[in-house]
Amino acid sequence: MKPVIYIIFKYTLILFITLFAQWWAIELSEYVPQYIPETRINISGMVIFAATLSILIFGQKEIFRRYPQFSIIKLTALGLSICAIAELDFMLFSRYVMKDFDIYNLLEVFFKMMVFDGGLAFLVAFKIVRPKSDQFWLLIIAFLGLVYLLTII
C-alpha cells in the first residue's frame, strides 16, 4: 500500500503547477480582465478556488479510499497540508519574481489562505466521510460566513 506522503506529494505538485499556470495565464496577461465584467468577482480568485476545491476532492478521496479508518480531522489535516505546502512553495517562488515583495503581506495572505483552505478541506472531508449527513448545509452556511468575515478583515 502506498504511504500517504506520496499521495500528499502528488496532489501538492498538481496544485503548485495549477497555481503557477493560473499566475502565468491570468496575472501576467494583459488581455484577461481582472474581474468578470459588471461584477466584483475576481477571475483569478475563482480559478484558485476551483483548482483548490477539485484537488482537495480528488486527493482526499484517494486518501480515504486507501485508508478508510481515517477520521474527518485527519483527512482535514492531510488536505490542509496539501494546500499549505503548495501555497507556501508558490509564494516563495513568486517572491523572486515580484519586485515589491513584502514578508508581512506574504504572511498575511498565507494565513488567510490557510484558514480558507482549512475550512474547504473540512467541508470536503466531512462530505467524504459522512456522505448522507444533513448537517452539511449548515456547515456550508458557516463556511460562507467565515469567507465573508475574511474578506472584511
Cβ(79)–Cβ(123) below 8 Å: no
Is residue 153 classed as helix, strand or coil in its secondary structure?
coil
Residue boundaries of the structural domains of the chain: 4-152
C-alpha cell at 134: 444533513
- The Cβ-side half-sphere exposure at 68, using a 13 Å CA radius, reads 2
What pTM, to 2 d.p., does this model score?
0.84
* Maximum average pLDDT range among 9-13, 43-47, 100-104: 9-13
Q: What is the pLDDT of residues 88-135, one digit of tens each?
A: 998 888 777 776 667 788 888 888 889 889 988 998 998 899 887 777
